[in-house]
């Protein structure tokens, strides 16, 4: 069986193409809608506006420049859109098992059906822990899905099912999370789309003005002459409210060094932004720093997950931990206690037989109403593990309890033996 690669066994909701070289979000189909919203208006502009402006302007070079700028700028928008949606946004790799250094046991005493107390240890994790950022303690949360403590500014995307560093939001128009590694491309996309809308809107309005001057007509006649220009102006005006407003909002966030997620959360909780380094430094951090390499190699061969090492059971050392005189029940691998009991019984029977023969029939009286069983169930010695010499059972002093039970069982056997001897006589 051929070894699988990381992208083939990926537990997130991402979609991979080109053998794991490109990674998209689960809603990558919406990217086709975004492409249509960009490409179709530009094609209409080039055919119905830029081509006619090339003939209307006195200089043909100006007309070709208008057409070339529209095409090149559209290509730029599509490239940054592709970089935003097809790359790793900053996914934090999952842990195969919870971090062992954070294990914490919460021991509680429960009462079973027989009324005996039993300690039931359960594995617990602190929900948060503190890390220091710019001299200020910041709490980070534990992610149960990824089984790790999230780095600062990291959040789990419910759509992609991944923890993303510097998580801003999940954008359905690009079909990808916006995080540490693609936020710069996302801002370039929305700002370039805003400039493209302004460019198309302006030249469409200019073409209407040219038609008015050439035909000495009114605005209505010019609009009837080129209805495509009117449609483009209306489309770009509506689009500017979305991409233009989004660009302005993210300029505000970059100046404060905040993400969209932090802005809404801090506003609701009234928290202090510990990542603000000043407006200039915040812009330099976003646009002038090197993009960190991805933490994931999706084309690498996946390793087989090794199950975590089983944890040793917790056995209380003091009987007070169990809430009374209840003693812990330890499962035995070998019944060492029963073997010791049989050997001791055999030796005691031989010694008592010799003692009775030496003294004759003058034995001490015994109660004949005692049961004939060699050892009652109440005095049965507890079983011990095969590694008893290293176990907490022996260290806690419960081995003395086993010796006491053994002595009591030997005395009971002695009395039963003498009683049966007298009855035969």
Contact 392, 347 (CB under 8 A): no
Long-range pairs for 221-230 at CB < 8 Å and ≥24 separation? 226/48, 226/49, 226/52, 228/44, 228/48, 228/49, 229/48, 229/49, 229/204, 229/205, 230/204
Contact 117, 109 (CB under 8 A): yes
Distance (Å, whole) CA 242 – CA 234: 13
Distance (Å, whole) CA 291 – CA 201: 34
**End-to-end CA separation in angstroms for the chain:** 80
Distance (Å, whole) CA 371 – CA 416: 8
Contact 56, 210 (CB under 8 A): yes
Centre a 10 Å sphere on the Cβ of residue 45 and count the other Cβ atoms it contains. Answer: 28
Return left, alpha or beta for 147; rule: phi > 0 is left, psi -120 to 50 is alpha, else beta. left
The encoded tokens of residue 131 equal 């890390």
Selecting among 171, 177, 197, 236, the annotated active-site residue is 171
Interacting residues of 285 by C-beta distance below 8 A, sequence separation 6+: 257, 277
Distance (Å, whole) CA 296 – CA 12: 12
Contact 183, 283 (CB under 8 A): no
Told to judge if 146 belongs to the known catalytic residues of this protein, a careful annotator would answer: no
Which residues does the annotation mark as catalytic? 171
């Amino acid at each position: 069986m051929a070894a699988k690669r990381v992208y083939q066994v990926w537990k997130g909701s991402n979609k991979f193409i080109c053998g794991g070289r490109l990674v998209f979000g689960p809603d990558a189909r919406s990217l086709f809608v975004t492409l249509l919203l960009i490409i179709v208006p530009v094609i209409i502009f080039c055919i119905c506006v830029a081509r006619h402006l090339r003939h209307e302007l006195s200089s043909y070079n100006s007309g070709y420049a208008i057409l070339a700028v529209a095409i090149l700028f559209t290509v730029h928008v599509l490239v940054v859109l592709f970089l935003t949606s097809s790359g790793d946004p900053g996914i934090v790799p999952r842990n195969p098992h919870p971090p062992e250094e954070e294990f914490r046991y919460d021991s509680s005493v429960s009462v079973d059906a027989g009324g005996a107390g039993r300690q039931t240890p359960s594995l617990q994790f602190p929900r948060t822990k503190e890390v220091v950022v710019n001299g200020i303690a910041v709490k980070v949360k534990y992610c149960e899905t990824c089984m790790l403590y999230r780095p600062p500014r990291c959040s789990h995307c419910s759509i992609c099912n991944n923890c993303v560093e510097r998580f801003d939001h999940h954008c359905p128009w690009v079909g990808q999370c916006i995080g540490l590694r693609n936020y710069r491309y996302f801002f370039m996309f929305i700002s370039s789309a805003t400039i493209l809308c302004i460019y198309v809107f302006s030249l469409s309005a200019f073409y209407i003005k040219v038609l008015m001057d050439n035909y000495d007509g009114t605005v209505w006649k010019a609009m009837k002459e080129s209805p495509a220009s009117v449609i483009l102006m209306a489309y770009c005006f509506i689009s500017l409210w979305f991409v233009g407003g989004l660009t302005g909002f993210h300029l505000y966030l970059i100046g404060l060094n905040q993400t969209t997620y932090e802005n809404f959360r801090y506003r609701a909780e009234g928290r202090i932004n510990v990542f603000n380094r000043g407006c200039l430094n915040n812009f330099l951090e976003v646009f002038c720093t090197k993009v960190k390499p991805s933490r994931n190699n999706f084309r690498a061969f996946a390793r087989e997950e090794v199950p975590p090492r089983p944890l040793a059971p917790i056995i209380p050392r003091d009987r007070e931990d169990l809430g009374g005189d209840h003693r812990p029940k330890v499962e035995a691998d070998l019944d060492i206690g029963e073997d010791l009991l049989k050997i001791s019984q055999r030796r005691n029977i031989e010694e008592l037989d010799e003692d009775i023969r030496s003294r004759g029939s003058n034995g001490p009286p015994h109660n004949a109403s005692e049961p004939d069983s060699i050892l009652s169930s109440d005095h049965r010695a507890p079983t011990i593990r095969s590694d008893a010499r290293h176990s907490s059972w022996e260290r806690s002093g419960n081995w003395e309890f086993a010796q006491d039970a053994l002595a009591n069982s030997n005395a009971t056997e002695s009395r039963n033996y003498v009683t049966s001897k007298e009855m035969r006589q």
